[in-house]
Every structure is written in structure tokens, then in C-alpha cells.
């Protein structure tokens, strides 16, 4: 394959696309979903698109055919699918032209492009396959007892230590798929540098039968390295050799790339950003331990299937692209500042937290890909909790509050574990689904009542993502759907969705304060903070000096 084309011709301002002006005009005349001749049975059936086992129903969004045509023109003019393809082929998508930046390819899609003879980025897929084979051998050795503890017993637990992208995605996937874990295997996670978290988790484990998977792409993250040392100390206290229990997932050449300290070391690559890394070894070592290789391959197949579906240029046939454009419609044309993701599946309890990072760290930006101030709003605030719990908590504001909150509902026709009963005429799963569908209709259609306090304005935009059952394959597809959505939005806003400079300043200042703590521990005469009057004032004001 030829070297991938440069993305720079697509570094065009959002406002420069003709479709933006057209859509701004259309936004003055929105469909009224409270009218029976607008929100019709025909609309519900027609505003629907499917891919990789998911139906996206978008009758509840404030769009009509003219607006959808306008969004299609925006997608075409901004070259969203072309950019996505170039990214998948290895274009250097993580960069800011004319400024120092990470300057990297963005190839998380390559680590699941493993099932065809002609992967789009062959070198990256080959490297991913190599790591997967290493994992497969490791899992086999665990299963047949070639790898065991010093007493010859099998390992039953795995503790993952990592933070941010090295925690949120993997943890969300494990919880989503815990129903499929091998009965004798469990996974635990510690991310926070709060020592109580580590102490609590360690107190539940038989360390002699526990593997610890330390995950850090950079191999330098303060929280992760501190937690690794805490865990190593606990193993040493228990008379156990950490080199027989600790695994590493890190970047090649990182300070953690020292196989002599670990039972096994796995690699992730520069071209995979932390929040996009759940389908690399960052997530797969943990998932492979818990579920086995088969479900891991299913997860990758689902993700790969959705990555392919996202190449479709017609927005009415591409759920990821359509979701991106509906989000842009709500954000840039209707002025909505947040989006709530509400899964009607307890197994997705941490998926919202993963999406929060994926979306807000990717698209919470104020400069474009040339380093200039943005001319449009970028990513919204993303939040969410599983339904129906949320219905008994914050849905009041979504239905009747003064802030409009677009909603993305996620649900499944069947439950995961099959433990369900007919109670008062319906199963629990039916109750879950009836609530999901009812909320969607209620938000869209509203309800007029003589009592103003009991009136529902309606026209509150929402969509439904509906799958058959939350299987490993479905989870892979759902993950990739959201990754593609976020990437498409970043391309449309002309921002670099793959760096995270906004987290650096806080890290630097925390390190400076830690220098003060360490300096004072070493010497009563510590004077370092004289150069840091604000830090000193803060330590004094909080009584921590």
C-alpha cells in the first residue's frame, strides 16, 4: 500500500463548510415532535439504521429529512469518512500543523483489523497480532498449569493497576462482560493513588494466587508506579516473589520495559492513544485472563465490524457517522452543552465513565489542527448512569428542567445471564425495556396538562441504541461505535482528538507540591517553596505545611 496521504488538506474550519450556513437556517424551523402529525408511527420506523447487530432509532431527535440532507452535505464537505479512512490507513492524525505536537499515527482500529487478508494498516495489524499470539500462549500456559504459583496452584485473581485510558476502558469492558467470565477467575482494578483503595482491594485477595497486571503506556505515571510499589511491598511482606506474579503492559523502551521484573511483558504501541487502547493489550490481558481467548476474539470481531460499518459515506446507513452528526446538530446548531448516555443495562455501569474520558479528553479542545482558536463549540459534557436508577434520580431535570439534555439510550432485547422471571405479568427485562422506550417517547412527545407543574414540554432530543444481547461481540461493536463517533466529531470541528495537553498543567503543579512535601521530609531547613509563593500559601491555608 502507498504511504497514506496527509490529512492537512482537511484541516478546514467548521464554519467554512457551506452546509454549516444552510443548517443554521434550518435550525430556525425545527420539527415539533409534540405534534401527532410529526412524531408518527412511520417516522419511528423510518428513522432507524442498523449495523453490526445494533439498531439506532433516531425518531426522537429534532431533525427532519431536510436537516438530515444538510448533515449529509456537512459530512461530505468536511470529508469525514475520507479522513476516517486515511486515519485507518496510518495517516499522522495526531498532530497540530506548525507546532510541536505528538505527531503520531492513530491506529487503534488496526489492533482489531486482524480478520482479513488485506488489513488497512498491515504493519500495525501485524504487530497487534504478534502481541495477541503472545497473549494466547500465556493463557494456554495458565490453563494447562505450566504457569502457576510456587505451590503449583493455578492463579485465580488478577489485579489490574493502571489509570485513565489504562483503566477506564478495560474496567468498563470487564464489568460489561463479567457474566461470561470463567467461574474460577476474577479481575480487580486499582487506579486511584488513594492508599485506602489499594488496601481495600488487597484485603480481599489471596496474594499467592493473584497476578498483578501493571498497565502504563508511558511507564512513568505517578499513580500507577506508586500503586505498583504498594502492591510489590504487600507481596514481599507475604513472602512472595513479585517476579512470579507481576505482568506488565507498556510501551517498548518505556521505563517499565524491563522483562526481568515481570512474569510476562506485553506491548502497546505509540499509535494507540490511552483512551482508544481498550482493544490493545491494555484491555486484552485482563479480559483474556477472565474470559479466555474466544470471547476476546469475538470482542475484536465486533469492533472490527463496526470500524468497517463506519466507512459508509451515507449517514442514513452509518450509525457512528449519524450519531456524530446528530451530536453536532444538538451542540453547534441547537446550543446544547451536555449529553447524557443512559444504558438500560447494569453491566454497562462504568461504560459512561469510559465514554466521558473518550469524548471529553478527545474533543474538549479550544484550538484547531493549525493551533488557531476554534470558531465553533467543541465537545459537550458527557455524563450518565444506568437506567432505571436514573429515572428515580435526575430524570426530573431532563424532562422538565430549563437545561436541555440530549440523551443516548442504550438497551438490549435479551438479558445476559438468563435469570429472569415473569412477575406481575412481565419479565424484569421487559420492565427494563418498557421503561427505556417510554422515556424516549415521553422526552420527544411531552404531555400538555392544565396543571403547569405537570406539563412536559417534549421536543427533548434523544436516540436509542438497541442490541440483541450484551455479548463480547456486541460490546466490541458498541465500543468501536463510540470511538468512531468521537473521531468523526473531532474531524468535523477540525480539532486533534488524539492528544490531551489539558491534563499536563495540573500534573506539573502536583509534582511541584510533592517536591515540597519530599523536601520537608528530608530536611527541616527546606527552603524550596520560597520560589513558589502560591503553592506555599495553599499548603499553609490548608494546614498541610
The residues annotated as belonging to the active site are 361, 392, 507
**Angle 504-522/222-237 helices, nearest 10 degrees?**
50
Q: Does 163 bind ligand G6Q (CB under 6 A)?
A: yes
Nearer to ligand G6Q, 273 or 467 (CB): 273
User: Cell numbers 412524531 label which residue?
Assistant: 39
Give yes or no for residue 216 binding ligand G6Q (CB under 6 A). Answer: yes
Task: From 31-39, 127-135, 202-210, 211-219, give the range in contact with ligand G6Q by CB under 6 A.
Answer: 211-219
- Binding characters for ligand G6Q, 333-362, by CB under 6 A (x = yes): ----------------------------x-
Could you write out the three-class secondary structure of 277-289? CCCCHHHHHHHHH
Nearest to ligand G6Q of 191, 391 (CB atom): 191
Q: Closest CB to ligand G6Q among 4 and 165? A: 165
Q: How far apart are CA 291 and CA 313, in angstroms?
A: 35
Contact 19, 287 (CB under 8 A): no
Binding ligand G6Q (rule: CB under 6 A), the pick from 96, 131, 500, 529 is 500
State the DSSP H helix or E strand holding residue 188, giving kind and residue range, or none if neither.
strand 186-190
- Pick the closer one to ligand G6Q by CB: 17 or 350: 350
Task: Determine, following the binding rule CB under 6 A, whether residue 365 of this chain makes contact with ligand G6Q.
Answer: no
* Residue 343: all three cell numbers together: 444504558
Can residue 90 be called a binding residue for ligand G6Q (CB under 6 A)? no
Q: How far is the CB of 217 from ligand G6Q (least distance, A)?
A: 4
Residues contacting 522, CB < 8 A, separation 6+: none
CB nearer to ligand G6Q: give 52 or 359.
Answer: 359
Rule CB under 6 A: choose which of 224, 308, 330, 429 binds ligand G6Q: 224
125 versus 216: smaller Cβ distance to ligand G6Q: 216
Interface with ligand G6Q (CB under 6 A), residue from 94, 166, 440, 462: 166
- List of residues 6+ apart from 483 with CB closer than 8 A: 108, 276, 358
Residue 128: CB partners within 8 Å, gap ≥ 6? 110, 111, 112, 114, 269, 280
Report the residue from 38, 156, 218, 338 that binds ligand G6Q according to the rule CB under 6 A: 218
Preceding omega of 388 cis (within 30 degrees of 0)? yes
- For residue 164, state whether it binds ligand G6Q (rule: CB under 6 A): yes
CA distance 155 to 211: 7
Q: Is the dihedral of CA 56, 334, 21, 492 positive or negative?
A: negative
Residue 186 in grid coordinates: 476474577
Nearest to 303 by CA among 167, 469, 111: 111
Q: Does 496 bind ligand G6Q (CB under 6 A)?
A: no
Give the one residue of 72, 191, 221, 363 binding ligand G6Q; rule: CB under 6 A: 221
Closest CA to 348 of 386, 375, 404: 386
Positions 254 through 293 that interact with ligand G6Q (CB under 6 A): 273-275
Q: How far is the CB of 79 from ligand G6Q (least distance, A)?
A: 25
Q: Would you count residue 165 as binding ligand G6Q (CB under 6 A)?
A: yes
Residues in contact with ligand G6Q by CB under 6 A are 163-166, 216-218, 221, 224, 273-275, 361, 500
Amino acid at each position: 500500500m502507498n504511504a497514506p496521504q496527509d490529512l492537512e488538506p482537511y484541516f478546514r474550519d467548521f464554519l467554512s463548510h457551506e452546509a454549516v450556513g444552510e443548517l443554521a437556517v434550518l435550525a430556525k424551523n425545527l420539527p415539533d415532535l409534540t405534534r401527532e402529525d410529526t412524531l408518527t408511527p412511520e417516522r419511528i420506523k423510518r428513522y432507524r439504521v442498523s449495523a453490526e447487530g445494533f439498531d439506532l432509532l433516531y425518531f426522537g431527535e429534532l431533525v427532519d429529512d431536510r436537516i438530515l440532507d444538510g448533515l449529509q452535505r456537512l459530512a461530505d464537505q468536511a470529508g469525514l469518512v475520507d479522513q476516517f479512512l486515511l486515519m485507518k490507513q496510518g495517516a499522522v492524525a495526531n498532530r497540530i500543523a506548525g507546532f510541536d505536537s505528538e505527531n503520531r499515527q492513530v491506529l487503534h482500529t488496526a489492533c482489531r483489523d486482524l480478520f482479513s487478508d488485506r488489513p488497512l494498516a498491515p504493519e500495525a495489524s501485524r504487530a497487534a497480532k504478534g502481541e495477541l499470539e503472545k497473549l494466547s500462549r500465556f493463557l494456554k500456559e495458565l490453563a494447562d498449569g505450566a504457569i502457576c504459583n510456587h505451590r503449583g496452584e493455578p492463579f485465580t485473581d488478577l489485579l489490574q493497576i493502571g489509570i485513565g485510558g489504562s483503566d477506564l476502558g478495560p474496567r468498563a469492558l470487564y464489568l460489561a462482560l463479567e457474566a461470561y467470565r470463567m467461574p474460577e477467575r476474577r479481575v480487580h482494578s486499582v487506579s486511584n493513588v488513594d492508599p485506602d483503595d489499594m488496601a481495600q482491594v488487597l484485603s480481599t485477595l489471596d496474594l499467592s494466587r493473584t497476578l498483578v497486571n501493571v498497565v502504563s503506556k508511558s511507564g512513568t505515571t505517578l499513580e500507577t508506579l506508586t500503586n505498583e510499589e504498594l502492591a510489590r511491598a504487600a507481596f514481599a511482606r507475604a513472602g512472595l516473589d513479585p517476579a512470579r506474579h507481576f505482568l506488565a503492559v507498556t510501551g517498548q523502551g518505556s521505563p517499565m520495559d524491563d522483562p526481568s521484573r515481570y512474569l510476562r511483558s506485553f506491548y502497546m504501541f505509540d499509535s494507540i492513544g490511552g483512551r482508544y487502547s481498550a482493544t490493545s493489550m491494555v484491555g486484552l490481558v485482563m479480559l483474556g485472563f477472565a474470559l479466555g481467548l474466544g470471547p476476546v476474539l469475538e470482542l475484536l470481531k465486533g469492533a472490527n465490524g463496526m470500524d468497517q460499518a463506519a466507512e459508509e459515506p451515507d449517514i442514513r446507513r452509518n450509525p457512528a457517522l449519524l450519531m456524530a452528526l446528530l451530536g453536532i446538530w444538538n451542540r453547534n446548531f441547537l446550543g446544547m452543552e451536555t449529553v447524557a448516555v443512559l444504558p438500560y443495562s447494569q453491566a454497562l455501569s462504568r461504560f459512561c465513565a469510559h465514554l466521558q474520558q473518550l469524548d471529553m479528553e478527545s474533543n474538549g479542545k479550544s484550538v484547531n489542527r493549525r493551533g488557531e482558536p476554534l470558531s465553533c463549540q467543541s465537545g459537550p459534557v458527557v455524563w450518565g448512569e444506568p437506567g432505571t436508577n436514573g429515572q428515580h434520580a435526575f430524570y426530573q431535570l431532563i424532562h422538565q428542567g430549563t437545561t436541555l439534555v440530549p440523551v443516548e439510550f442504550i438497551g438490549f432485547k435479551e438479558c445476559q445471564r438468563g435469570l429472569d422471571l415473569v412477575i406481575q405479568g412481565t419479565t424484569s427485562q421487559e420492565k427494563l425495556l418498557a421503561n427505556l422506550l417510554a422515556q424516549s417517547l415521553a422526552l420527544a412527545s411531552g404531555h400538555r396538562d392544565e396543571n403547569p407543574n405537570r406539563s412536559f414540554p417534549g421536543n427533548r432530543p434523544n436516540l436509542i441504541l438497541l442490541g440483541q444481547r450484551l455479548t463480547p461481540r456486541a460490546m466490541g461493536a458498541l465500543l468501536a461505535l463510540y470511538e468512531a463517533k468521537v473521531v468523526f466529531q473531532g474531524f468535523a470541528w477540525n480539532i486533534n482528538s488524539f492528544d490531551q495537553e489539558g491534563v499536563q498543567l495540573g500534573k506539573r503543579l502536583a509534582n511541584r507540591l510533592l517536591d515540597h512535601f519530599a523536601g520537608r521530609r528530608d530536611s527541616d531547613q527546606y527552603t524550596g517553596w520560597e520560589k513558589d509563593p502560591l503553592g506555599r500559601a495553599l499548603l499553609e491555608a490548608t494546614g498541610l505545611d
